[in-house]
Amino acid sequence: MRKNLLIAVMAFLIVLAGCTGVVGIIVEEGIKQKAQELLDQTMDIVDELETSPASYDLLREIIYVPESDASDSEVVDMVLSSSEILVYDLTTPSTLTSCSVISVEELSSRAIPWSLANKPEFVENVYAITIEGTTEDGTKTFFSIPMIEVSGKEYFWSVYIYTSKDIVITPSTEVRMYPQFLFY
């Protein structure tokens, strides 16, 4: 009887291990699909940025800004200027005609050239997206950029107002970007 119970438990554990592997693959493919959708949306926005001035509202679809910070002029300026990172990645050395997400990996440590320090509470997950692009002349190029998840939606990064929690007479504030591009 004990032998049968042991065999049943072992079989259950093996099946369970297989299920968690399948669930992991499904979750990974789901986040990869979301990353591809974000990238496709960004390609459309970058095409538009090449011919007209950047639209703050349009950029907020791919760069997260908390509603409470959305009207701050410094936040607006940082969103508009940080969009140049995407334009550079997608147009240098030549404009990409197509892009596809090769991989998505969750990040929890250092990610050069991005700093993951001081993660805001609203950011649920941080990923690195590896992208393969094809340029106008057919050249293949690869690069990585961050992607964050906020309330189940994906963005490349966030721009927000940080209020110091240090013990001071008057709390100080600053506009921050997360993840922070180290060369920005």
Give, as one character, the DSSP assignment of residue 167.
S
Give the mean pLDDT of 16-32.
Answer: 54
pLDDT per residue as tens digits for the range 26-69:
345 689 999 999 999 988 888 777 677 778 888 999 999 999 99
Give, as one character, the DSSP assignment of residue 69.
G
How, if at all, do strands 173-178 and 157-163 pair? antiparallel
pTM of the model: 0.77
Answer yes or no: is pLDDT of 17 > 80.
Answer: no
Q: Which has the closest alpha carbon to 123: 145, 101, 156?
A: 156
